[in-house]
Each structure stands twice: as C-alpha cells, then as structure tokens.
Amino acid sequence: MKTSSFTKRSLITFVSVFALVSVLMLLSSYRVAGRKNATSEADTLKGLKDFYKGYFPIGVAVAPNSFEGAQAELIKKHFNSLTAENVMKPGPIHPEEKRYFWDDADKIVNFAQANGMKVRGHTLCWHSQTGAWMFKDAAGNQVSKEVALARLKDHITQVVSRYKGKVYGWDVLNEAIADDRDSTKIFRESPWYKICGEEYFAKVFQWAHEADPNAVLFYNDYNTENPVKRDKIYNVLKKLLKEGVPIHGVGLQGHWNVDNPSEQNLRASIDKFSSLGLKIQITELDVSIYSSRTDTVNIGFTPSREQKQIDFYKMIFKVFREKKDLITGVTFWNVSDRRSWLDRGNKKVYPLLFDENLKPKKAYWEVVKF
C-alpha cells in the first residue's frame, strides 16, 4: 500500500518532536539532580543543630581544651549541647574524700552558658574512673556498705547541687548491667554492687532527684541494642519505675560500627525502652569503620569503608528522625576524626562526621540531607 507524502511528513514530525522532548527531559533531570546534590551556600552556613532544630539537640563530648581555635568554632556552629567526656566523672571531679576539683567541669559549663548550649552531666556513678578511696578505709580495707553508700550519697549531692540549673540532665548511673550474654547475670559485678548490693541502683537516682528535682535522670549503657542486654535493662528499669524510683530516661551510648547494630535492633531498643515512658537519648555516638574492636588489620579510611559508614549514618539518622518524638538528644562522642577515644596508636578509627581537618565528611552531608 502506498504511503501518502502527508502521512510521511506527519510521521517525521512526530518522531522529531518526541526526540526533542526526550532530550529536554533528560537535560532537565540532570539539572535537577545536580541541584539536589549540590551543596547550597545556605547549607554550608548551617550547622548540624540547625538542620535538626525541629528534631532534637545535637551534642558533643568535650574536654576543657576543646575550646581552642578552629575546634571551638566548629563546636559553636554544629552543637547545642555539651557532655564532659571525662572531667565530671567521680575520679576526676572528686579525687579524694575531702577534695573536689571543679575547675575543668566549670570550664565546660561556663563555655556552654556563654554560648547558649545545654549540658548533660556524665556521670555520677560508674565502676570506672572512680577514686579507689571510695571503697577503702584508712587502713586500706574495704569499707562497709553503710560507709560506701554514705560516700556515694555525699558525692552525688555535692556534684548535682553545684550544677543545679546549669546541667539539665545526668547520666546518674553508667553501665551497671552485666554485659554478659548469660541472661541470668543481671548486674555488673562492680565494687558498688559487690559492697552495696542491688539497692544502690535505686538510691543513686533518689539522691540525684533530691539534689535537683528538675534534672532529667538517665540510666546510660552500651550494647543496648543487643536483645539479651536490652531485656535485662528493660526488666530492671520496669521494676524500679514500678517502685517509684525517679528514672526519666535511657541513654543508648551508640558506640557502634559500620556493621552493628541492625536497623531492626536499633528500632526495637528505642521502642522497648520508650514503652516504659522513658525518654531516649543517643549519648555517645560514634561509628567505627572496623566491624569489631579486635579487627586488628589497620585497613584505614578506604572508599569502601567510607561508603559503609555513610550508609550506616544515613540509616541511623533516618531512624532517629522517624522517632523524634521519643528521642530528646543525640550526642557525638568526640568532635572530629582528629581525635577519637577509639584510636589505638597508629590505628585510627575515623568514627565521626568531621575529618581530621575539621571539615564535614561525605557522611555529614548524608545526615543533613533530608
């Protein structure tokens, strides 16, 4: 059958128009993609705390010497909450029975107040970084339960009272639940537990509440996403809450790595602890590029490790944003990859959102792009 010239011209016109429209759509999609991925001038002026203004405060663990030079500017730009990495712990702040050392903790509180930041107190009772004097009498023998509890009460009362109205919340008790995979081993065999028994757990919260009734009181621990440990913590807190013990929140420390925890276990822990009516905070966030602390090969910050870290940070912050009504704070443990408590000799762990030159890493842009 002969095709008329009209039909031929119409066909050519249709194909030409279709091709032109396709090219234009392709160009447009590239331009949109480019704009979406491009970092706007406004984005570079904002800090983490600004991007998360409608969600929760973004904190960072600091030392008294953190507030020098460029690092001070980074802290002021990105964070609106501070935690003392070490200097508010029992040992550094109360080195002898009759001597407190306030200067370093005061520096952090003063910097926070001068810059409109909140302060999380860390920590009132722990098995580590606690003066040995707390458990010994003048002859070097172990003290009685009564003496140990009296000393602990005095410590908590003095420290919380000093920072009343300046420290909004405390990690009252840190890591008191056994890390053991044996579900029958509930409490860590710390000197506090060995000398005082289970009752010290409730007392430390009662004493902190008496010293500052407005302070938000947290139980703080790590591996809180492990189902066995999660259930131990849940059961202990549920019993204490039933007894009227003033516990207001759970600190999920968040010392995680590119392979752990799973999104499912993270969600399960946030949901389980919040089902007790407790506030949730991520209190010590860092994401090691190594799957386990014993990962001895010093792989370094390779592109594949970086991508795993980017994917992990993207996942956890998606979960945090979705659960913003349950989460009242996310605090990073250390400021940048320049120094992490996880670094061991020449094996750096690169766990944070800012690199060794204090510049945002690719993971940072994934955390703020939502």
Which residues in this chain contact ligand G3I in the complex, by CB under 6 A? 85-86, 128-129, 174, 253, 284, 341
Alpha carbon of residue 163 to chain centroid: 22
Distance of alpha carbon 273 from alpha carbon 256, whole angstroms: 18
Distance of alpha carbon 139 from alpha carbon 272, whole angstroms: 46
Alpha-helical regions (H) of the chain: 5-37, 41-45, 48-51, 69-78, 90-93, 103-114, 145-162, 191-196, 199-211, 227-242, 263-274, 303-322, 362-368
Minimal distance, residue 45 CB to ligand G3I, in Å: 31
**Please, which residue, 250 or 368, has the CB nearer to ligand G3I?**
250
Verify whether residue 284 is a known catalytic residue. Answer: yes
Verify whether residue 356 is a known catalytic residue. Answer: no
**Please, which residue, 51 or 201, has the CB nearer to ligand G3I?**
201
**Please, which residue, 85 or 366, has the CB nearer to ligand G3I?**
85
Please identify which residue in the block is written with the tokens 């200067």.
Answer: 103
Minimal distance, residue 151 CB to ligand G3I, in Å: 20
Q: Beta partners for 58?
A: 330
First-to-last CA distance in the chain? 59
**Please, which residue, 330 or 368, has the CB nearer to ligand G3I?**
330
Cα maximum dimension of the chain: 116
Cα four-point dihedral sign 135, 137, 143, 149: negative
**41, 68, 96, 175: which one is catalytic?**
175
**Please, which residue, 109 or 342, has the CB nearer to ligand G3I?**
342
Minimal distance, residue 126 CB to ligand G3I, in Å: 7
Nearest of 280, 282, 131, 152 to residue 204 by alpha carbon = 152
**284, 306, 322, 366: which one is catalytic?**
284
**Please, which residue, 284 or 337, has the CB nearer to ligand G3I?**
284
The angle at the Cα of 59, spanning 258 to 368, to the nearest 5 degrees, equals 60
Minimal distance, residue 27 CB to ligand G3I, in Å: 51
Minimal distance, residue 129 CB to ligand G3I, in Å: 5
Two tokens, residue 124:
């009132």
Distance of alpha carbon 253 from alpha carbon 285, whole angstroms: 6
The angle at the Cα of 346, spanning 65 to 307, to the nearest 5 degrees, equals 90
**Residue number with the shortest CB distance to ligand G3I?**
341
Question: What are the residue numbers of the active site?
Answer: 175, 284
